[in-house]
Amino acid sequence: MSYVICEYEKVKANFPEFKATMESLSTQLRAKCAADWSPKTFGGLAPTAGQFGETTIIPALFRDQTMTTANTGNMDTWNQTLTLTNAQRLLGGAQQTIMTGSGTGGIILEDYKVGLAGLVFLDKAIRVSEIKMQISDKKLPRINIEEALAYNKPAIVFENGYILDEETGFDLYAYVTTQGPQRIKLLGLQMNRVPNRLQVTNAGATL
């Protein structure tokens, strides 16, 4: 897995490869949706009857650390609070599951497919030292993000994006070093088979 760590605000200006990654990921995702959701066709940001639509990735397709065990509810925004037990704090941290798909068992809900191009930490205080992901049965290597501490709002951008398919698992793990608020936003795009079903999220939730 190839990736680059940079400042979020400078992704587009300093890394033209990001545009290529997004275009390639979008093309792959549209083709997969057209095949899986046939006879629907791509309708872009304003789909009409018989079309599937595109949006940014909505938080409501995911659960944060507090919800992964309870298996209920979903995220309204990318804000979450990372926690540690007293024993974990004494040890200097612990590996945690900090985000999963919001469907039962941590899957992406039916009728939604996500193109994941990277992720960004939107806080100055970074409370994790490494992350790793599992997409379906594919386990991706660890990413040490201690380098990211030197950046303002560090972003991790993948050279090649990943497709989070509907009804397949997604887990984001992190070694949590301190507890407290943390905003981790997923970068990419999302396709929606039934656009008017975007009420999987609460009114006012971040699109």
Per-residue pLDDT tens for 65-124?
A: 876 544 456 888 999 999 999 999 999 999 999 999 999 889 999 999 999 999 999 988
End-to-end CA distance of the chain: 28
Shortest CA distance to 157 belongs to which of 1, 5, 45? Answer: 5
More confident residue, 9 or 115: 115
Give CA torsion, residues 99, 172, 23, 205, to 10 deg: 10
Check whether the bond before 59 is cis (ω within 30° of 0). no
Give CA torsion, residues 58, 10, 15, 164, to 10 deg: -10
**Amino acid identity at 75:** M
Burial class of 178 by CB neighbour count within 10 A (0 to 12, 13 to 18, 19+): middle
pLDDT at position 65 is 84
Q: Out of 10-24, 33-47, 121-135, 173-187, which region has the weakest mean confidence (pLDDT)?
A: 10-24
**What's the token pair of residue 48?**
């009409």
Asked if the model's pLDDT at residue 207 lies above 60, the reply is no
Q: Out of 66-70, 149-153, 168-172, which region has the weakest mean confidence (pLDDT)?
A: 66-70
Phi and psi at 49, nearest 5°, equal -55, 135
pLDDT at position 58 is 93
Confidence of residue 148 (pLDDT cuts 50, 70, 90): confident
Confidence of residue 16 (pLDDT cuts 50, 70, 90): low
Asked if the model's pLDDT at residue 6 lies above 90, the reply is no
The mean predicted confidence, pLDDT, of the chain is 86
| pTM over 0.85, yes/no | yes
pLDDT at position 14 is 59
Asked if the model's pLDDT at residue 205 lies above 50, the reply is no
CB distance 99 to 65 below 8 Å:
yes
